[in-house]
Amino acid sequence: MLGGPVLVLNQNIKRESGHKVQTGNIGAAKTIADIIRTCLGPRAMLKMLLDPMGGIVMTNDGNAILREIQVQHPAAKSMIEISRTQDEEVGDGTTSVIILAGEMLAVAEQFLEQQMHPTVVISAYRQALEDMLNTLKDISTPVDVNDRDMMIKIINSAIDTKALSRWSDLACSIALDAVRTVEMDNNGRKEIDIKKYAKVEKVPGGIIEDSRVLSGVMVNKDVTHPRMRRLIQNPRIVLLDCSLEFKKGESQTDIEITREEDFTRILEMEEEYIQQICEDIIRVKPDLVFTEKGISDLAQHYLMKANITAIRRIRKTDNHRIARACGARIASRTDELRDDYVGTGAGLFEVKKIGDEYFTFVTECKDPKACTILLRGASKEILAEVERNMCVCVYLCYRRWSLICCCVCVCVCVHVLQEEEHNLTCVCVSLLQEV
């Protein structure tokens, strides 16, 4: 037709529809499920993968495995998204959900071969879902979160198939202590922010039994001056998010000097500014200063003479956790420092050398609402898997309701569905006989 649109298409594109596409989608989903099938159950095996950066991933976590797989098929990508959503919403069951989805599609394939419409199959699955949800509500049991023994049993049931199952008692205690540490009561509503206030620090070396929860914060930093104190009892802590050095121009700045005295005066002004901000800090009599920015050599000199320990360039998240642990307030300028900005809740400050690196510990806090989970292990790969298992344990501590056991739940649901199927079959037969 003259004047009509002209479509230029890639000749390599192939369009498919109908039963062939349905069979291909089911085959792709079954392939994804078969990849991680050996990672399910008490006899689960770890898989060793090579990530795009050349690192090694050893895990039996379904989401961690599928995250490293690159697929092009849309159905396979949808299966991987199921695992990712399961990990974000529940924290566990990433392998089970993929295998169940693959099996459900495999069972549906025979109905499609019998020329049954997909919407009919989906409606049957939805009816089965409603029956299973009602069954799970009936067999679920309310849990008293203050009952430590019961909580540990629940957490322990989730890591029996993990690599950390050998140290299950230690892992359960660490997870429960971490959640109870960061728990806050806000007008009768409990708030638990694990991602922000419970940081996991992985330090290679040692054994897994050395892992523990710190009643405070640990950061991978050392003091700025070698003569500053590395051990302080009951420190007074000041937190800053401003730099303790002379401010430089935001853009390229040129200064024309005609006299030598002007250059000397400029240097004196810089020293006076550094001295002033140090005096603002010294005025509140702190023992320890944390800042998110840099500290100049001259500022280090003034602070060291005042017997104040300084640590620079810590992360903003670490600064917030220290503030919550010791009761300090973060100051944006040194001239606004007052006594109520100083944190006095920490009982001990010390700097330790672990391996080849220095770590700063602010521990023995009176009422810490932030903590650090310190994990030790033989290598980085082992620590990465321990962290994944620990995240499962921590997430389970949020739950107010618990099911008896995953296997028991599946068996009960299967039994209920079989009974529903039998009742439905009897009704259909009786109707046919009446007709």
Q: Which of 233, 213, 212, 179 is nearest to 400 (CA)?
A: 179
Are 287 and 235 in contact, with CB atoms under 8 Å apart?
A: yes
Instruction: Pick the more confident residue, 165 or 249.
Output: 165
The predicted-structure confidence for 157-174, as pLDDT tens digits, reads as follows: 778 778 888 888 898 899
Structure tokens, 42? 């008490």
Are 238 and 289 in contact, with CB atoms under 8 Å apart?
A: yes
Which residue in this structure is represented by tokens 């109905």?
111
pLDDT of res. 115:
84
Mean pLDDT estimate for the chain: 83
Are 79 and 29 in contact, with CB atoms under 8 Å apart?
A: yes
Structure tokens, 400? 């107010």
Report CA-CA distances (Å) from 273 to 14, 59, 332, 419.
70, 54, 16, 82
Are 108 and 121 in contact, with CB atoms under 8 Å apart?
A: yes
Q: pLDDT at residue 403 above 80? A: no
- pTM higher than the cut 0.85: no
Which backbone phi and psi does 362 adopt, to 5 degrees? Answer: -120, 95
The predicted-structure confidence for 202-223, as pLDDT tens digits, reads as follows: 999 888 999 999 989 999 999 9
C-alpha to C-alpha distance for 116 and 112, rounded to whole angstroms: 5
Instruction: Pick the more confident residue, 177 or 20.
Output: 177
Q: Which of 217, 223, 196 is nearest to 348 (CA)?
A: 217
Which residue in this structure is represented by tokens 């069972």?
107
Are 385 and 163 in contact, with CB atoms under 8 Å apart?
A: yes
